[in-house]
C-alpha cells in the first residue's frame, strides 16, 4: 500500500489533479474515471466530485493508496 504525502503549494488542489500528480493514475482521464466509479474517499467519505477542492489536512484514500495533504 502506498502511503504518500503531498505538499500543497496553494489553497487547494482539484481531486483528479492530486491523483495524477501523486502517480495514482497515469492521466487525468484515468483519475476522473476512478473518482466517477466511487473508488476514492476524502477523509473517509466517498467523493464523486472530480474537481473537489482538496485542502491541507485532508486525507485522500482508495484501494492501495493513502495521500496525506499538508
pLDDT of residue 22: 97
Q: Which grid coordinates belong to 49?
A: 466530485
Position 64 scores a pLDDT of 96
Instruction: Provide the CATH number for the domain around residue 65.
Output: 3.10.290.10
pLDDT at res. 47: 98
Cβ partners under 8 Å of residue 21, min gap 6: 6, 13
3-state secondary structure of 67: strand
pLDDT tens, position by position, 13-30: 999 999 999 999 999 999
Number of domains in the chain: 1
- pTM equals 0.94
Residue stretches of the chain with pLDDT short of 50: none
pLDDT score at 65? 97
Q: In terms of residue numbers, what domain contains 48?
A: 2-69
pLDDT of residue 1: 75
Rounded CA separation 25/10 (Å): 22
Amino acid at each position: 500500500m502506498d502511503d504518500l504525502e503531498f505538499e500543497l503549494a496553494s489553497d487547494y488542489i482539484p481531486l483528479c489533479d492530486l491523483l495524477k500528480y501523486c502517480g495514482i493514475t497515469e492521466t487525468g482521464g484515468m483519475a476522473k474515471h476512478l473518482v466517477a466509479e466511487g473508488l476514492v474517499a476524502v477523509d473517509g467519505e466517498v467523493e464523486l466530485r472530480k474537481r473537489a477542492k482538496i485542502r491541507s489536512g485532508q486525507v485522500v484514500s482508495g484501494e492501495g493508496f493513502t495521500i496525506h495533504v499538508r
